[in-house]
Amino acid sequence: MLQYLKETGVCGDRFPTIFCPGCGIGQVLNYALNAVDHLVKKDGIPRDQFCFIAGIGCSARVTSQYLGFDAIWSLHGRAPAVATGALLARPELRAVVITGDGDVAAIGGNHFIQACRRNLDMTILCMNNNLYGMTGGQSSPTTLRGIPSTTSPYGNVENAFDLCQMAITAGASYVARWTTAHPQQCIQAIEKGIRKKGLAFIEVMTQCPTHWKEEPAKMMKKYRSQAIRLSKEKERESLKRGQFWAGEFVDKDQPEWLESYQKIIDRFQNKGMATEVTEAPETKGK
Amino acid sequence: MKRYEIRIAGFGGQGVVTIGKILGVAAALHDKKNAVQTQSYGPESRGGACKSEIVLSDGEIHYPKVRSADVLVALSQTALDVYLKDLKPGGFLIIDPLTVLKEVPRSDIQVVKIPTAEIALKAGNKRFQNMVALGALCQLTGAVSPQALERAIGESVPPKTLAQNLKAFQKGIEYVR
Amino acid sequence: MSVNDHTAFEPLLTEEEAKKVLRGPLPPGDYYLFGSDACVEGAIFAGCRYYAGYPITPASEIMEKAAERLPQVGGRFIQMEDEISSACSLIGASWAGVKAMTATSGPGFSLMMEAVSFAIMSETPLLIVNVQRPGPGQGYITSSQEDVMQARWGHHGGGALIALAPSSVQEMFDFTIQAFNYAEEWRVPVILLADETVAHMRERLTVPARDKVKVINRIKPQDLGIPLEKYLPYEPYEGKVPPMPAWGDGYRVNVVGLVHHPDGNVTKYTPEMHLACVSRIYQKIEDHADEIAQVEGFFLKGCRNLVVAYGTTTRSALEAVQELRGKGMTDLGFLRLKTLWPFPDGKIRSMVGQMENIFFPEMNLGYMIHPLREALRDRAKNFIPIPCLGQLHSPDLIINKVEEVIGKYLCGEGI
């Protein structure tokens, strides 16, 4: 996967990265690059059609200078909006939004659900560590009730979002949740998501050993026991505290934004005709 | 033509903005004058006060709004009450005596009473009364040519109602003659 | 349980209707349009093919016209969920290689400031039209020039940008083209400071032949034969502006809003790197203020009193100046700022000599009078603001003020 990362620049080394030892982001990046590699090799998608778009947070740092792809490290929560502009300008781009739970569900909540509602052809890859990592460990919209953090020193009084449920309700075409302890499933889900025509939302539970003050290996082991594979029988059971459903929740085909809008353009351009046309009589005096 | 200022005012729905626009198109595109058209709506929109202004000139127009109107078309009593004071001495006031019932409290202007609703009704439908007023304005002031106005009406109204609009317009011209 | 039925979309437009529509920019000729319409037509003429916006009075007409026209010319329009996402999407569209714009008013403009800041640092060309309305807060929906300082200083942090102020329907067309030209040439966000009056006014628009109008497009590294290995994203070409590739062109550009080295590296922070980075994007515009700015002078020769204006107020001011000159005040001149930022101190000083009084009508409580006073601090005795809020100045408001001051002076009473 190293061929997909930027080499050393003239001003100094880009590696090692800024991520903490044991951080799950490195793993998720690895899974994403594997998925991209499969798409390049299997589907023949040109490498330079991929575009990584991030907001702010530890997960967003992936796009800051490491990727050997077109990328942007933009504004907190606004990556889906930036991706929207990029796609409408150049629809052949494969936009992958890199985000975290704070970026996508707090400040970026509205842009996240609107992108799902529009079913735009982008992939939102959310690394959920259940807190704000970059800024020091504040609680986020996915922090469970009762958990202490720097902004909930007496325990969090709020409930948590289920990001996948939000994506499903908002109308996404592909929704899945895995963890850093599920490498193959992650790679497949990201691959499927990018391949999917429509909005794909993939949530990966990602360990932050620094702020949770746990060993990364222990955290990953815990993920394997907390991740309950969704099946017909299990749906009827309720989850115990700390557990979450894992698997593919939605995988459907439905009209996508760009292909719908293209019909309007095609109607005007009459597909194959020249774009410039002489004056139409109705325009004067309007 | 030096600067010539027309103000049309009435209730929302009386076609105030439409005839302002038609005057502008006619003057600017067909009579090849300069014409700036603005409009504003009173605080209460539907049925509230509404005005359209048009400034014409052969030369460049700087200030785009009415300073002192040469013509005021008042399609409602409120319009008259509010805008009468801005009409130039010697200017034209066009009113419908069936809408504007009170006596006009100025003697230094030329008051022209046109029963626009009645004429429009005879021409086919009361809703074209703004076209009657337009025709009257055209004939009275000579600010914009009837040919230019007819062309502009053709470009501005739906084809289905074009004939009726033009008829009402002609009736307005004839009444003044 | 969903409100959606997921059937395929069908455009509400027959093939016959589609054929009748104009599928390109306006051909040369005369049109009678709203300022809002003229702005959109100017954008299309300049090659803009992406619009994202959010409804707000008095800018919604620009958005609606864009929704109608963009697919006709092969572009794309989207109504976003708010002004923040509208402005952010312009960044994505611009980096994907397309000229992008939005239009808003005061409250929305405030929301866009973070995106403006990012566009300045990342040198992303884009256009924001602010159809100004009074504020602060919800304010009102009539005319205003109260955001002229916000346009320059409303974004956090340093840097510089370019802003223009149109005063007619023709200029809503011409200045929009110029705004895109500035954005592409200088790789900077540009603000078009319109107002409710000019947006909702109808006048004749004369569209020139295509070859008579200069349209500038960004220089790409491939245009200069720079290959991927040699590409430095922040290295200015000929000392001016770095070439800008589009995503998908193969340059693998990592766009950032952080202070950076010329190769885009954001580690190895040093204060020297920081100063060099921000100074470059600041000086890129400010050092070229006299070249970028457009200022017009009328009756300046031998004038001892001056009226200054910008935007739609220009029209009231010119009317007032001509009337005063007609009355005998022949030493009264007029200066018009067509661009507001960068403020061209040098250019203005070269045009304006020693004055008694400088009058500055603005649809605000006196904002641009500050940089003007700084530029001409030793050139005039008195700087007199003429504020008017919520509506365009009547010429009488300006005439009365000038006569009040100069009249007094002529009678020997002094100020």
> Model confidence over C53-101: pLDDT tens digits?
999 999 999 999 999 999 999 999 999 999 999 999 999 999 999 999 9
Distance CA(C339)–CA(C334), nearest Å, equals 16
Average of per-residue pLDDT values in chain A: 91
According to the model, what pLDDT value does residue A23 have? Answer: 96
Restricting to C residues 267-326, those with a Cβ less than 8 Å away from any Cβ of B are 312, 315-316, 318-319, 322
Chain A interface, mutation test: which of B149, B155, B157, B162, most A Cβ atoms within 10 Å?
B155
CATH architecture of A2-283: 3-Layer(aba) Sandwich (3.40)
Task: Measure CA of the first residue to CA of the last residue in chain C; give whole Å.
Answer: 75
Radius of gyration of chain C from its Cα atoms, rounded to whole angstroms: 23
Residues of A with Cβ-Cβ distance to B25 under 8 angstroms: 285
pTM to 2 decimals? 0.94
Distance CA(B27)–CA(C93), nearest Å, equals 41
C-beta atoms of C4 and A282 within 8 A: no
Nearest-CA distance A280 → chain B (Å) = 13
C-beta atoms of A284 and C22 within 8 A: no
Type of residue numbered C306: L
B32 touches chain A (CB under 8 A): no
Distance CA(B141)–CA(B131), nearest Å, equals 15
Distance CA(C132)–CA(C166), nearest Å, equals 12
Compare CB distances from C204 to B21, B29, B38 and report the shortest one's residue. B29
Length of chain A equals: 286
H or E element in which residue A227 lies: strand A227-229
C-beta atoms of C319 and B62 within 8 A: yes
Q: Among C332, C33, C313, which Cα is nearest to C172's?
A: C33
C-beta atoms of A284 and B152 within 8 A: no
Given a cut of 90, is residue B62 above it in pLDDT?
A: yes
A283 touches chain B (CB under 8 A): no
Distance CA(A54)–CA(C54), nearest Å, equals 23
Q: Among A99, A237, A227, which Cα is nearest to A167's?
A: A99
Chain A interface, mutation test: which of C14, C49, C89, C112, most A Cβ atoms within 10 Å?
C89
B65 touches chain C (CB under 8 A): yes
CATH architecture of C295-410: 3-Layer(aba) Sandwich (3.40)
Q: What is the distance of C-alpha A278 from the center of its chain?
A: 45
Nearest-CA distance A219 → chain C (Å) = 29
According to the model, what pLDDT value does residue A286 have? Answer: 34
Q: Among C249, C287, C245, which Cα is nearest to C264's?
A: C245
Distance CA(C411)–CA(C404), nearest Å, equals 11
According to the model, what pLDDT value does residue B98 have? Answer: 86
According to the model, what pLDDT value does residue B14 have? Answer: 83
Instruction: For the beta carbon of residue C152, count every other beta carbon within 10 angstroms.
Output: 20
Q: What angle do CA C344, C350, C354 make, to 5 degrees?
A: 115
Distances (CA, A) of B160 to A99, B16, B17: 56, 20, 20
Given a cut of 80, is residue A58 above it in pLDDT?
A: yes
Provide the residue ranges of all domains of chain A, joining segments of one domain with +: 2-283
Q: How confident is the model at residue C410 (pLDDT cuts 50, 70, 90)?
A: low
H or E element in which residue C141 lies: none
| The two structure tokens encoding residue A87 | 């796609």
CATH 3.40.50.920 positions along chain C are: 295-410
A165 touches chain C (CB under 8 A): no
Given a cut of 50, is residue C246 above it in pLDDT?
A: yes
Q: Among C184, C215, C186, C195, which Cα is nearest to C151's?
A: C195
Q: List the subunits that have 3+ CB pairs under 8 angstroms with C.
A: A, B
Distance CA(C293)–CA(C340), nearest Å, equals 7
Compare CB distances from A74 to C2, C72, C88 and report the shortest one's residue. C88
A285 touches chain B (CB under 8 A): yes
Distance CA(C216)–CA(C288), nearest Å, equals 18
Q: How confident is the model at residue C411 (pLDDT cuts 50, 70, 90)?
A: very low
Q: Is C353 strand, coil or helix? A: coil
Distance CA(B18)–CA(C338), nearest Å, equals 32
B37 touches chain C (CB under 8 A): yes
Nearest-CA distance A148 → chain C (Å) = 31
Type of residue numbered A269: Q
pLDDT digits (tens, 9 = 90+) for C307-363: 999 999 999 999 999 999 999 999 999 999 999 999 999 999 999 999 999 999 999
Length of chain C equals: 415
Q: How confident is the model at residue C413 (pLDDT cuts 50, 70, 90)?
A: very low
According to the model, what pLDDT value does residue A231 have? Answer: 81
C-beta atoms of B28 and C395 within 8 A: no
Residues of C with Cβ-Cβ distance to B37 under 8 angstroms: 201-203
Pairing of strands C332-337, C295-298: antiparallel
Residues of B with Cβ-Cβ distance to C201 under 8 angstroms: 36-38, 64
Tell me if B100 sits within 8 A of B84, measured CB to CB.
Answer: no
A111 touches chain C (CB under 8 A): yes
| The two structure tokens encoding residue C152 | 């320059």
Q: List the subunits that have 3+ CB pairs under 8 angstroms with B.
A: A, C
Distance CA(C138)–CA(C160), nearest Å, equals 27
Compare CB distances from B64 to C315, C322, C396 and report the shortest one's residue. C315
Distance CA(A86)–CA(C94), nearest Å, equals 7
Q: Is B99 strand, coil or helix? A: coil
Nearest-CA distance B156 → chain A (Å) = 7
Given a cut of 90, is residue A6 above it in pLDDT?
A: no
Q: Among A58, A66, A143, A152, which Cα is nearest to A105's?
A: A143
CATH class label, C23-212: alpha beta
| The two structure tokens encoding residue C107 | 């409250």
Q: Which residue of C lies nearest to B65 if distances are taken between CA atoms?
A: C394
C-beta atoms of A72 and C95 within 8 A: yes
C-beta atoms of C204 and B28 within 8 A: yes
Type of residue numbered B64: P
Largest CA distance in chain A: 73
According to the model, what pLDDT value does residue C407 have? Answer: 84
The tally of CA atoms less than 13 A away on the side-chain side of residue C330 is 2
Residues of A with Cβ-Cβ distance to B29 under 8 angstroms: 284-285
What's the average model confidence in pLDDT over A215-229? 96
Q: Residue A219: CB partners within 8 Å, gap ≥ 6?
A: A207, A209, A212
Q: Among C131, C128, C135, which Cα is nearest to C101's?
A: C128
Upstream peptide bond of B89 is cis (omega within 30 degrees of 0): no
Nearest-CA distance C409 → chain B (Å) = 27
Distance CA(C102)–CA(C116), nearest Å, equals 12
Q: What is the interface size between B and C, counted as CB pairs within 8 Å?
A: 53
Query: Any idea which of C15-24, C92-101, C192-201, C376-385 has the lowest mean pLDDT?
Result: C15-24
Upstream peptide bond of C262 is cis (omega within 30 degrees of 0): no
pLDDT digits (tens, 9 = 90+) for A150-168: 999 999 999 999 999 999 9
Average of per-residue pLDDT values in chain C: 94
Chain B interface, mutation test: which of C32, C37, C321, C323, most B Cβ atoms within 10 Å?
C32
Restricting to A residues 34-53, those with a Cβ less than 8 Å away from any Cβ of C are 48-49, 51, 53
Distance CA(C103)–CA(C172), nearest Å, equals 12
Query: Any idea which of A51-65, B33-47, C128-142 has the lowest mean pLDDT?
Result: B33-47
Tell me if B100 sits within 8 A of B117, measured CB to CB.
Answer: no
C-beta atoms of A284 and B29 within 8 A: yes
Distance CA(B8)–CA(B96), nearest Å, equals 13
According to the model, what pLDDT value does residue C203 have? Answer: 97
CATH 3.40.50.970 positions along chain C are: 23-212
Q: How confident is the model at residue A271 (pLDDT cuts 50, 70, 90)?
A: low
Q: Among C156, C216, C210, C206, which Cα is nearest to C180's?
A: C216
Q: How confident is the model at residue B45 (pLDDT cuts 50, 70, 90)?
A: very low
Distances (CA, A) of A183 to A203, A224, A243, A249: 13, 11, 19, 18
Q: What is the interface size between A and B, counted as CB pairs within 8 Å?
A: 8
Tell me what percent of the residues of chain B surpass a pLDDT of 90: 69
C-beta atoms of B29 and A285 within 8 A: yes
Given a cut of 60, is residue A277 above it in pLDDT?
A: no
A241 touches chain B (CB under 8 A): no
| The two structure tokens encoding residue C196 | 């409710």
Radius of gyration of chain B from its Cα atoms, rounded to whole angstroms: 15
Q: Which domains, ranges and CATH numbers included, belong to chain B?
A: 4-176 (3.40.920.10)
Instruction: For the beta carbon of residue A136, count every other beta carbon within 10 angstroms.
Output: 12
Q: Is C125 strand, coil or helix? A: coil
Residues of A with Cβ-Cβ distance to C21 under 8 angstroms: 268, 280
| The two structure tokens encoding residue A170 | 């908002």
What's the average model confidence in pLDDT over A232-254? 89
Chain C interface, mutation test: which of B29, B63, B66, B153, most C Cβ atoms within 10 Å?
B63
pLDDT digits (tens, 9 = 90+) for A77-101: 999 999 999 999 999 999 999 999 9
Q: Among C194, C143, C196, C172, which Cα is nearest to C393's?
A: C143
Distances (CA, A) of C374 to C251, C286, C365: 44, 16, 17
Compare CB distances from A268 to C8, C21, C100 and report the shortest one's residue. C21
| Dihedrals phi, psi of B149, to nearest 5 degrees | -65, -40
Distance CA(C355)–CA(C340), nearest Å, equals 21
Q: Which residue of C lies nearest to A60 if distances are taken between CA atoms?
A: C256
Q: Which residue of C lies nearest to B54 if distances are taken between CA atoms?
A: C202
According to the model, what pLDDT value does residue C189 have? Answer: 98
Task: Measure CA of the first residue to CA of the last residue in chain A; give whole Å.
Answer: 58
